[in-house]
Structure 1
Amino acid sequence: MCTSLTFQTTTGDRFLARTMDFAFELGGRPVAIPRHHHFSSVTNAAGFDAPYSFVGTGRDLNGYILVDGVNEYGVSAAALYFSGQAHYETEAVADQINLAPHEVLMWILGNVKSTAELGERLADLNIMEAAAPLLNIVVPLHWIISDRDGNTYVLEQETDGMHYMENPVGVMTNTPDFGWQLKNLSNYLQLQPGPHPSRQMGDLKVNAFGPGTGAMGMPGDYTSPSRFVRTAFMRQYTDDVAEDSAAINALSHMLNSVEIPKGVKLSADGSADYTQYRAYMSMHEPAFYIQPYDDQTITRVALTDALMTADQPTEFALKKSQQFNAVN
């Protein structure tokens, strides 16, 4: 289970951020994929090519798999769980690009320059039931995609086909489907950052207890609908900022409201979903930032010419903070 959102500075720079919430230890780290990298595929022997360079969270599982990132043209994307509603094809289709769900994000980042181009090329994609390495399951996914012009879309494939929908709120979480999540926002029109006005009830004038009462009724649990509402509220009312560093800081604080500590969200089998990391994709630089659970230090990797033209993908170790200084 994950949460994602977009954010824009007052100078027009755009970001896509996400939490990665999962029980299984994914072990991802920053990986820069160079131009013209060839990916193997579990759906076909030929695999697929990625003409464009990108950087994101990945792991080498006899070939790199990435779950989020930003490419050299400023297209950013993240894959999020879509259990219970994702539906994929069972057969390969000749003359189409046959991909497993966990391969879609790499194809997008490696092949398109904008969300509009992706919309034009979706007819060429056939997303198939094929298991991902490490997890050994067909991963139920949907995707949020954004570009440096501020266009944001959601891609979902269900039993009635593929849906590529404009995202007017810049937020995505998990199941239910994106259309349902948008409709559910109608249940929370009372939310506001300031207190509600005083009201007369009979002969009694009822006053709000103070600042913060405007957000009373905002759901605080870790379900997907609650995280969607909470994140949409945070994104709408968080103060504008101008600098990139301030944008990363603001996004980090917004995602604090949906971060899942270890132990507070348990599955029936006792496993604990928790926020393994937060990622921040800067579309104008382009650059990738990652903030792991065990050490809140942020590691930044910018797509340099050297990384984009390297012979092989480049992995980066996560930075570690220094020990706390004792203050007497």
Structure 2
Amino acid sequence: MCTSVMYKNAKGKWFLARTMDFSFELGGRPVVIPRNFHFESDAQTTGFDTKLGFTGAGRDLNGYILVDGVNEVGLGAATLYFDGLAKFADQTDENKTNLAPHEVVNWILGNVSSVADLKTKISDVNIVAVANDLFKMVVPLHWIVADKSGACVVLEQDENGMKVMDDPVKVMTNSPDFQWHLKNLNNYVQLKPTSHSSKSYGDFESDAYGLGSGALGLPGDYTSVSRFVRAAFIRENTEKADTEAGSINALTHILNSVEIPKGVKADNEGGCDYSQYRGYMSLDEGAYYMQPYDDQTITRVVLTPELLNASKPSEYPLQNTQQFNSVN
């Protein structure tokens, strides 16, 4: 079902990261889409064009579909499940760019330079209720978008239309809606990284056993509600790293807190959500890091001039031998 967070390191550099939690095997891998690329579309016969090059996790399904990534000017985006609440248009609009829900990340990364730019352009997009060929259904999605200035928004389209909401917490999970998650944080104002002081009950003095009592009440289950609270608390209090590698390492530990192991989140039909991979987007560096479930090795893909100006997309198998294998 997925969790996404932003992270700012000690040098002021911003990162966007996510877990991809799903039961259906997605088979994603690092992909680079070059500049000035034309995408075919399930929503309109003319497709749509992109200007900016970008890299992220995707797959060629008679055309590349990316579910997260970062572009050459430092904008990152990720798509997450929004079950029960997402509502898209019933028909196309000839005056707008028509997109299927699963095509939105491609359009954003290929055409948007910042969160401010997104706010001006999103009204020109019409998201149409078109089924995805892989799932044979209209995938209910919402999106988190961030840039290297630290600006961050959540996009949610429901029965009342598109909402573009600033994300002050810089965390996103799944349903309920984003505003509900923000209000729910009011139930956790007691959380802190330091221990609570002792408390008197009559003549009895109660004290915590060791450190960590400040996090008493932090939810530990795998619902989107609990993952949102847990990610917000841990992200807020994780130490700031000095280096790029240290920042990715810090993010791996933040996402450890919300990663879903195989078997612990099963449905009644025999399926099982689990964290198929983690994606880390270095917004200043223009690099994408992918860490699969079965092998914790991290594959790094950097946007170079050769890749950005290539004549076709580039696709890379996941590395599996040494951490931080790099594809330049």
* TM-score under structure 2 length normalisation: 0.97
What is the CA distance between 1:308 and its match in structure 2?
Answer: 0.2
**Aligned twin of 2:94:** 94
Residue 131 of structure 1 corresponds to which residue in structure 2? Answer: 131
Once the two structures are superposed, the pairs formed by residues 24-35 of structure 1 within 5 Å of their partners are 24-35=24-35
In the other structure, the counterpart of 1:8 is 8
Matches for 1:38-187 after TM superposition, within 5 Å: 38-187=38-187
SS in structure 2 of the partner of residue 66 of structure 1: strand
Which residue matches 1:248? 248
Please list, as runs of the form range in 1=range in 2, the aligned pairs for 1:188-199 lying within 5 A after superposition.
Answer: 188-199=188-199
Give the counterpart letter for 2:78 in structure 1.
A
Q: How many residues align?
A: 322
Q: What do residues 248-267 of structure 1 show as CA deviations (whole Å, max 9, x unaligned)?
A: 00000010011111111001
Alpha-carbon distance in structure 1 between the residues aligned to 2:237 and 2:161 = 35
Name the CA distance, whole Å, in 2 between partners of 1:85 and 1:162.
12
- Partner Cα distance (1:213, 1:10) in 2: 27
Report the AA paired with residue 113 of structure 1: S
- The residue that corresponds to 1:326 in the other structure is none
CA distance in 2, matches of 1:144, 1:31: 19
* C-alpha distance in 2 between matches for 1:148 and 1:259: 25
State the shift of 1:136 in Å: 1.2
Task: For residues 225-274 of structure 1, give each alpha carbon's deviation from its aligned partner in whole angstroms, at most 9, with x where no partner exists.
Answer: 00000000011100111101010000000100111111110012110000
Separation in structure 2 between the aligned mates of residue 319 and residue 100 of structure 1, nearest angstrom: 31
Following superposition, the deviation at residue 44 of structure 1 comes to: 1.0
Confirm whether residue 282 of structure 1 aligns to residue 302 of structure 2: no
**RMSD value over aligned CA atoms?**
0.7
Identical-pair percentage: 57
3-state secondary structure, aligned to 1:182? helix
Q: SS of 2:91's equivalent?
A: coil
Cα distance in 2 for residues equivalent to 1:43 and 1:236: 39
Alignment of 1:218 onto 2:218: yes
Distance 2:16 2:180 in 1: 22
Deviation at 1:321, TM superposition (A): 2.2
Q: Which AA in structure 1 matches 2:129?
A: E
TM-score (norm 1): 0.97
**SS at structure 2 position matched to 1:179:** helix
Structure-2 residue corresponding to 1:317: 317
Note the C-alpha offset of 1:209. Answer: 1.2
Output the CA distance in 2 between the equivalents of 1:268 and 1:115. Answer: 40
Q: Distance in 2 between matches of 1:122 and 1:300?
A: 30
Q: Give the secondary structure class of the aligned counterpart of 2:42.
A: coil
Structure 2 equivalent of residue 21 of structure 1: 21
Structure 1 segments (4+ residues) deviating >6 Å = none
User: CA offset at residue 54 of structure 1?
Assistant: 0.2
CA distance in 2, matches of 1:117, 1:141: 21
Alignment partners' CA distance in 2, 1:147 and 1:261 = 30
Separation in 1 of the partners of 2:278 and 2:154? Answer: 19
Q: CA deviation at 1:164?
A: 0.2
In structure 2, distance between residues paired with 1:34 and 1:125: 22
SS at match of 1:133: coil
- How far is 1:40 from its partner? 0.6
In structure 2, distance between residues paired with 1:286 and 1:124: 26
Unaligned runs of at least 5 residues, structure 2: 323-328
User: 2 CA distance for matches of 1:104 and 1:207?
Assistant: 52
Structure-1 separation of matches of 2:132 and 2:109:
19
- Where do 1:286-305 residues align within 5 Å? 286-305=286-305
Q: 1:306, 1:106 → 2: CA distance? A: 20
Amino acid in the other structure paired with 1:268: N
Counterpart Cα distance in 2 of 1:28 and 1:240: 30
Distance 1:126 1:69 in 2: 21
Q: Aligned letter for 2:37?
A: H
Letter paired with 2:25: E
Partner of 2:326: none
Q: Cα offset for 1:122?
A: 1.3
**Quick check: 153-162 or 209-218, which moved more?**
209-218
SS at match of 1:10: coil
Q: What secondary structure does 1:231 align onto?
A: helix
Partners in 2 of 1:240 and 1:297 — Cα distance? 22
**Using the alignment, how far apart are the partners of 1:58 and 1:105 within structure 2?**
10
SS in 1 for 2:137: coil
